[in-house]
Amino acid sequence: MTKLAANLTMLFTELPFLDRFEAAAKAGFKGVEFLFPYAFRAEQLADKLSTNGLELVLHNLPAGNWEAGERGIACHPDRVSEFQQGVDDAIRYAKVLNVKQLNCLVGIVPAGVSAELARATVVGNLKFAADKLQAAGIRLLIEPINSFDIPGFFLTGTHQALELIKATGSSNLFVQYDIYHMQRMEGELANTIKANLSQIKHVQLADNPGRFEPGTGEINYHYLFKFLDEIGYDGWIGCEYKPKAGTVEGLGWRAAHGV
């Protein structure tokens, strides 16, 4: 059965962040996700989750200076110690928030860093993070991102993600599969998900073009929702899209798609 989680970084943005939990619950969501919790006290967020009967299904490891355009630092050779500190910070939040999986945005390759050095840095950082999270009972995910929205991002495809997982030798590293990003980079959505279902532990959605809600673009979400149920995907699907005409006004897509 399809389980939808509201991405509070993208949805209900007309409200202050801490008010979005109540709005998500009132809109019928049972789970939420967001990029980062670190601007707030973990206990403050835990209270919002508990008060509104919500499960936090995912957040990201610290990703550098987001406001300055950084999108992760796992591929930055000169910032390994900062990455490792971020892993510890993420675990501390995850334990309070009862989060069972965290995502690592690996980042944009810095100028002057070779592809080989970037890859070696990513592999080393992911192995470190996967091992630390495994000891804490938390799953680590990596997410391929399309290179149109974030030029220079190191991880851009499913096959590359699977290769990185293999290179780490970790049993605690999996794929976060974003349908929107992979439609732009690869297509072949259904077959790719089915072939790699054991490695995909979280799915996110948005339509293309525009990254709006399902039903606004070219992706056949009527088919994909049914398909995910048929192949036995039992994880959450994060609604990480830009509402085309307001969050609440645009939520009719759920009933229209039978989810």
Catalytic site residue from 143, 188, 218, 249: 143
- Residue 237 β-bridge partners: 4, 203
- What are the angstrom distances between the C-alpha of 184 and each of 8, 115, 156, 172, 237? 23, 22, 10, 27, 18
pLDDT in the model for residue 1: 82
Give CA–CA dist 127/174, Å, rounded.
12
Could you tell me the fold of the domain covering 3-256? TIM Barrel (3.20.20)
Q: Is 33 a catalytic residue?
A: no
Q: What is the pTM (predicted TM-score) of this model?
A: 0.97
- pLDDT digit string (tens) for 121-134? 999 999 999 999 99
Residue 69: is it exposed, middle or buried by C-beta count within 10 angstroms (0-12/13-18/19+)?
A: exposed
Closest CA to 107 of 153, 64, 142: 153
- pLDDT digit string (tens) for 250-259? 999 999 999 9
Catalytic site residue from 14, 186, 188, 240: 240
Residue 231: is it exposed, middle or buried by C-beta count within 10 angstroms (0-12/13-18/19+)?
A: exposed
pLDDT by position in tens, the chain (length 259): 899 999 999 999 999 999 999 999 999 999 999 999 999 999 999 999 999 999 999 999 999 999 999 999 999 999 999 999 999 999 999 999 999 999 999 999 999 999 999 999 999 999 999 999 999 999 999 999 999 999 999 999 999 999 999 999 999 999 999 999 999 999 999 999 999 999 999 999 999 999 999 999 999 999 999 999 999 999 999 999 999 999 999 999 999 999 9
Give the residue extent of every domain in the chain: 3-256
Q: What is the mean pLDDT of the chain?
A: 98
pLDDT in the model for residue 224: 98
